[in-house]
């Protein structure tokens, strides 16, 4: 498992990058968690790099996310975004990029990369 804790912070207007974390070969799951109370909408991009961060490839994205539960219309205060790669990926750097239109306070969160199911990560078996 590779993990990066996100300490409490003021997330600025614009783009904020979380990570990167070094993911072991065979990783299958990325989970980005962030307290988003006070956020009005955001775009999120999860990327990986196999060349030490020179170039980045998109793994998943969500544009125009509004932190409101569509069923209850109540605010969502914690974002949990999961990306799955069932075949396993090579050793890479992984980062999350949040783009938002307002400054907001966050109590923090985490960026975690794991090997789930069949053990594919040689350094974790």
Residue whose token pair is 């306070």: 105
Q: What is the pLDDT of residue 125?
A: 41
Which structural domain, as residue segments, surrounds residue 56? 2-117
- pLDDT string in tens for the chain (125-residue length): 788 899 999 988 999 999 999 988 888 889 999 998 878 788 999 999 999 999 999 999 988 877 788 888 888 888 888 888 767 778 889 999 999 888 888 999 999 988 765 545 555 44
Contact 6, 112 (CB under 8 A): no
Cα–Cα nearest to 24, from 118, 93, 95, 85? 93
- The count of domains in the chain is 1
Name, in order, each residue with C-beta under 8 angstroms of 120's C-beta and a sequence gap of 6 or more: 25, 26, 27, 28, 88
In a domain, 39, yes or no: yes
In a domain, 125, yes or no: no
The CATH number of residue 104's host domain is 2.60.120.660
Q: What is the pLDDT of residue 26?
A: 83
In a domain, 64, yes or no: yes
């Amino acid at each position: 498992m590779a993990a990066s804790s996100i300490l409490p912070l003021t997330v600025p207007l614009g783009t904020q990058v979380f990570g990167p974390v070094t993911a072991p070969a065979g990783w299958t799951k990325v989970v980005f968690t962030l307290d988003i109370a006070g956020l009005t909408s955001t775009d999120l991009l999860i990327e990986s790099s196999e060349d030490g961060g020179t170039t980045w490839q998109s793994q998943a994205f969500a544009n125009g996310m509004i932190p409101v539960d569509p069923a209850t219309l109540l605010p969502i205060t914690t974002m949990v975004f999961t990306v799955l790669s069932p075949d396993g990926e090579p050793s890479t750097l992984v980062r999350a990029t949040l783009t938002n239109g307002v400054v907001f306070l966050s109590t923090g969160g985490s960026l975690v990369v794991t090997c789930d199911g069949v053990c594919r990560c040689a350094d974790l078996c």
